[in-house]
């Protein structure tokens, strides 16, 4: 297949935009709902940051930024994963305007 002359038309870009919005917004909403459900069931808010999700789900550490990049680790540990999904959704919309 020759992809040299492949260009996305307006409908293709709109479809990519919609799929991206659905994926990231749904992920953020699902994470937030799971956290709310856990709070209502157990009475304790379970924090889910970018770093905690990365360290618990990725078994291969490509780089140990939490040792050498302590400032970046602190910032990413403060950011909730659901909020970052919503920010990615907003950014995705702005990119494809």
Task: Give the tens place of pLDDT for each residue, 4-33.
Answer: 555 677 788 888 889 999 999 999 999 999
6-17: b or e for each residue (b if 16 or more CB lie within 10 Å)?
eeeeeeeeeeee
In a domain, residue 15? The reply is yes
For the residues 75-85, what does the mean pLDDT come to?
88
Domain presence at residue 69: yes
pLDDT at 69: 75
Q: How many CB atoms sit inside 10 A of residue 81's CB? A: 20
Query: End-to-end distance of the chain based on CA atoms, in angstroms?
Result: 30
Contacts of 96 (CB under 8 A, 6+ apart): 13, 14, 16, 17, 20
pLDDT at 60: 56
pLDDT in tens, 44-72: 888 888 877 777 666 555 556 566 777 88
Asked if residue 43 belongs to a domain, the reply is: yes
In a domain, 1, yes or no: no
pTM of the model: 0.72
Number of domains present in the structure of the chain: 1
Q: Which structural domain, as residue segments, surrounds residue 17?
A: 11-95
């Amino acid at each position: 297949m020759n992809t040299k002359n492949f260009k996305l038309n307006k409908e293709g870009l709109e479809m990519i935009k919609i799929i991206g919005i659905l994926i990231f917004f749904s992920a953020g909403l699902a994470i937030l709902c799971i956290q709310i459900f856990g709070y209502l069931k157990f009475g304790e808010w379970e924090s889910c940051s970018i770093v905690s999700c990365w360290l618990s789900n990725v078994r291969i550490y490509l780089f140990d930024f939490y040792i050498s990049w302590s400032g970046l680790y602190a910032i990413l540990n403060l950011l909730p994963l659901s909020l970052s999904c919503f920010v990615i959704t907003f950014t995705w919309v702005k990119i494809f305007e």
